[in-house]
Structure 1
Amino acid sequence: MENVRLGIIGIGNMGMSHSLRIHREHKVPGMTLGAVCDINLERRTWAQENLPGVAVFEHATELYESGLIDAVLIAVPHYDHPSLAIEAFASGLHVLIEKPAGVYTKQVLEMNAAAKQSDKVFGIMYNQRTNPVYQKVRELVQSGELGELKRVVWIITDWYRPQAYHDSGSWRSTWEGEGGGTLINQNPHNLDLLHWMLGMPRRIRSFCSFGKYYDIEVEDDVTAYLEYPNGATGVYITSTGEAPGTNRLEISGDMGKIVVENNRITFDRNRISEREHNRLNVDPFRKPVCWRCEIPVSGDGGEQHIGIFKNFAKAILQGEKLLAPGEDGIHGLLISNAIHYSTWTDDWAELDRFDHEHFYELLQERIKSSTVKKNVVQKVVDVSGTH
C-alpha cells in the first residue's frame, strides 16, 4: 500500500475541513480521500460539488462495502462513534474517530474490545497531544523532574458559548442529542490531557450546575475535586458561561510548580525536593531555594489535526506508534462520566470500580425526559463540528 485511502463519515464542519485538507490541499502525505458519506442530502450535494473524483455515499454500510477505502474517519454526533467504529472494524477497516470516544463508558469499552479483536490501527483525534506545550509538561512530569505529584488545579473557563450556540442545532446541549454539555462537548481534549500528563485520578467528587447560565438541560458549570492514588489532590473547574474566561493549569510536585498559561510554561524549580528540605531544615521559616525557569517550547501549537492524520497514515503504512491511540478515549470519558455520576448520586465516584451499568441507567433516565425535538434529530447527520 502506497497511500491510505480514507473515507469520511459526516460532512459537517469538521468533516468538510478534513476532506478539503486531504483532497484539495494535499496536506497529509501518504493519504488520499477515497469516499465520503452523509445521510443528509444537502451535505452530499456539497461533497459532489467540492470534492471532484471522490465517491459519495448515503449510508455507512455502503461506504464500508465499496472497496474504495482502507480506513475511515468517523465525524458524527457523539453517540454514534462506537457503533460505526465497531462496524468498520468488522469490515476490515482501520479507524480514526473524532473526540469524544463516545458518550458513556459502556459503549466505548465495547468499541475498544472490537478494536483489539480486529488488529487494525485505531486512533482518536486528540490533536492537542501535538501541542509542544503539553508535550513538554508531560515530559517534565513523567521524567520525574517535577517530583512526586502533590496537586493540580486547572481552571478552563474560556469555553464561552452564548445561547445562540446552544440554539444552533436541535440536538445540541441535550441529553438525547449530545449526551451532556461542556464536559462532553468542549472539554474532552482537556480531560484527555489531564490523564495523558498526570495519569488517572482514583476518585472524584463533583458539583455540576445544569442550565445555570442558559436555557439548556445539560451542564454549563462544573467544579470537580480529584484524588490521585498517591494522595495528591486536584481541582478541575470549567464553564461555558464566563467571559472573559481563564485557561490556567498549575501542577505542584516535590520539586516545585509548573504553570501553563497563554501557551507558556513557567517552572518554579526547587534546588532540592520539598520533602528533603523538610527533613534537613532546622529554620522554622526557611523555604526551599527555588529558581524560576521559563521553559522553552518549539513550534506554535503543533500540527494539530494534520499531525494526527500524518501519524495515523504512518501507523498504517510504516507501523509508527500512534500519538493518540483510540483506546485512550476511555480515560477522558471515564473522568467525564465520573463527574456526572458524582453529581447525580451526590457521592464520590470511584474510577477503579466505576459502575458503568448504573451510569448508563441514570443517563437513560435523563434521555427519556430530554427536551430535544425528537422529530428533528437525525443521528449521523450533524457532525461534531466546532466544539
Structure 2
Amino acid sequence: MSKKVRLGIIGLGQQGGAYAKFITEGMVPNMVIGAICDTDPAKKELASATYPDAPFYDDYIAMLESGDVDAVVTCVPHFLHPEMGIETLKRNIHALVEKPAGVYTKQVKELNEFAASKPELSFGIMFNQRNNPLYKKLKEIVENGEIGKIRRSNWIITNWWRPQGYYNSSEWRATWGGEGGGVLVNQAPHQLDLWQWICGVPKSVYSKVAFGFRRDIAVEDEVTAVVDYGDGVTGVFVTATHDLTGTDRFEILGDQGKIVVEGSKTATVTRLKKPERELSDGMGMDDVRKLFMGELNPEEYYTTEVIEFESAWGAQHSGG
C-alpha cells in the first residue's frame, strides 16, 4: 500500500474546514490530516473537538518545521498565499495554494519563479473545476473539432449573490490590500479559468467594471467584459454578486455546432452535419420559405446530445 499523504491545513475557516471534512470522511484516498494551523483560539477548540488526532499549531512556520506534514493547502486571506507558498516549498513540502495566487503581481511572480526552481515538488493553484467531468468532456469535444472552429463564446455567471453581511464578516474581505479585488478575484476565477482553458486566451479585452455598485465595498461587484480572439472570434463574460436569482449559462458557438451549459450541470451539444456556411450556401429560396414556415426537418441538418453530470461545484456557489 502506498504511503498516505499527510496534509497540513493552514486556516480552519469555511474552506479549510471543508477540506478537513472531505479527508476525514474518506473522500480523498491515501490522505490524512497531518496537522492544522490557525491563529484563532476558537479554531483550536474546534480542531481539538473535531480532529483530536491532528496536531494543532498557531504558527504555520512551526507546523512546516514539525515533520508532521508532507503537503500543505493554504486557506487564508489572499495576500498571505505567496508568502506561505514560498515558505512551504523552501522546506521541501508540496504546496497547494487556494485561488487567487495572491494580491500583488510581483509577489505572485516570485511565488511562480520559486516553485519553478523546485521541480521535484508539486505546486498548484486551486483551480479544481478543471476536474469537473462536465467541463473535461466539453474541452474534449471542442479540441476534437466536434463543433468546428469557435466563432463566439459567452458566459453569464451571476449566481454569486452575497449580502452585505458577507462582506462585513472579515476585515480583509472586499478590500484591495486583503483580497486584491472583488468578484473577479474571489468568486469568478473558476469560470475565467475554465473559459480560457476551453476557448483559449484572447488577444484583447474591453471591460465595464463597477466598484461598490450595489454593495458598500471598495472593489468590483459587477463586470461585463468583451474579448477579442482575433480572426473575428469574440467572447462576452458577465458576472455580479447582487443578483439574488442569478444565472449560470455558458455558450460556445462553432461553425459546425454549439454547446450550451446550464447551471454547470447540463450541456446541450448540437453538431451540424455540415459546416454552417456550407449549409447556407446550399439553400435556395424554396428552403428559405420552408425555414420561415417552420417546415424544415432539423434532423436533416444537425444532431443534439444532452450531457448531464451531478454538479461538482459544491460549496463554490455558497462560500469563498
Asked whether the two chains share a fold, i.e. TM above 0.5, the reply is: yes
Q: 1:229 to 1:64 in 2, by over 3 A?
A: farther
Larger-Rg structure:
2
Counterpart of 1:265 (choices 261, 264, 267) is: 267
Whether the 8 Å contact between 2:147 and 2:270 is mirrored in structure 1 is no
User: What's the counterpart of residue 110 of structure 2?
Assistant: 110
Secondary structure of 1:118's partner?
A: coil
> How many pairs does the alignment contain?
305
For structure 1, the residue ranges without an aligned partner over 5 or more in a row are 306-384
Superposed displacement of residue 229, structure 1: 4.0
Alpha-carbon distance in structure 2 between the residues aligned to 1:29 and 1:157: 34
TM-score by length of 2: 0.88
Alpha-carbon distance in structure 2 between the residues aligned to 1:87 and 1:225: 38
User: What's the counterpart of residue 125 of structure 1?
Assistant: 126
Alpha-carbon distance in structure 2 between the residues aligned to 1:290 and 1:123: 44
For structure 2, the residue ranges without an aligned partner over 5 or more in a row are 292-297
Superposed displacement of residue 225, structure 1: 0.5
Whether the 8 Å contact between 1:158 and 1:244 is mirrored in structure 2 is yes
TM-score by length of 1: 0.74
Whether the 8 Å contact between 1:131 and 1:304 is mirrored in structure 2 is no
Alpha-carbon distance in structure 2 between the residues aligned to 1:186 and 1:104: 18
Identify the structure with the greater strand proportion: 2
User: What's the counterpart of residue 30 of structure 1?
Assistant: 30
Superposed displacement of residue 8, structure 1: 0.8
Q: 1:303 to 1:235 in 2, by over 3 A?
A: closer
Residue 190 of structure 2 is aligned to residue 189 of structure 1: yes
Alpha-carbon distance in structure 1 between the residues aligned to 2:90 and 2:148: 44
Superposed displacement of residue 84, structure 1: 0.8
Whether the 8 Å contact between 1:7 and 1:71 is mirrored in structure 2 is yes
Residue 307 of structure 2 is aligned to residue 296 of structure 1: yes
User: What's the counterpart of residue 223 of structure 1?
Assistant: 224
AA in 2 matched with 1:191? L
Superposed displacement of residue 269, structure 1: 2.0
Q: 1:1-387 counterparts in 2 under 5 A?
A: 2-22=3-23, 24-119=24-119, 120-262=121-263, 263-277=265-279, 280-281=281-282, 283=284, 290-297=301-308, 299-302=309-312, 386-387=319-320
Alpha-carbon distance in structure 1 between the residues aligned to 2:9 and 2:213: 36
Alpha-carbon distance in structure 2 between the residues aligned to 1:304 and 1:159: 13
Identity among equivalent pairs (%): 44
Deviations 1:175-195 (A, max 9, x none): 122111111111111111111
Whether the 8 Å contact between 2:103 and 2:177 is mirrored in structure 1 is no
AA in 1 matched with 2:110? E
Whether the 8 Å contact between 1:79 and 1:179 is mirrored in structure 2 is yes
Superposed displacement of residue 292, structure 1: 4.5
Whether the 8 Å contact between 2:205 and 2:227 is mirrored in structure 1 is yes
Superposed displacement of residue 291, structure 1: 2.1
Whether the 8 Å contact between 2:273 and 2:303 is mirrored in structure 1 is no
Q: 1:268 to 1:21 in 2, by over 3 A?
A: closer
Alpha-carbon distance in structure 2 between the residues aligned to 1:304 and 1:238: 19
Whether the 8 Å contact between 1:130 and 1:301 is mirrored in structure 2 is no
Superposed displacement of residue 282, structure 1: 6.1
Moved more, 162-171 or 280-289: 280-289
Superposed displacement of residue 52, structure 1: 1.2
AA in 2 matched with 1:193? L
CA RMSD between the two structures: 2.2
Alpha-carbon distance in structure 1 between the residues aligned to 2:141 and 2:104: 32
Superposed displacement of residue 304, structure 1: 6.5
Alpha-carbon distance in structure 1 between the residues aligned to 2:314 and 2:110: 28
Superposed displacement of residue 37, structure 1: 0.9
Superposed displacement of residue 303, structure 1: 8.9
Secondary structure of 1:222's partner?
A: strand
Secondary structure of 1:152's partner?
A: strand
Superposed displacement of residue 76, structure 1: 0.7
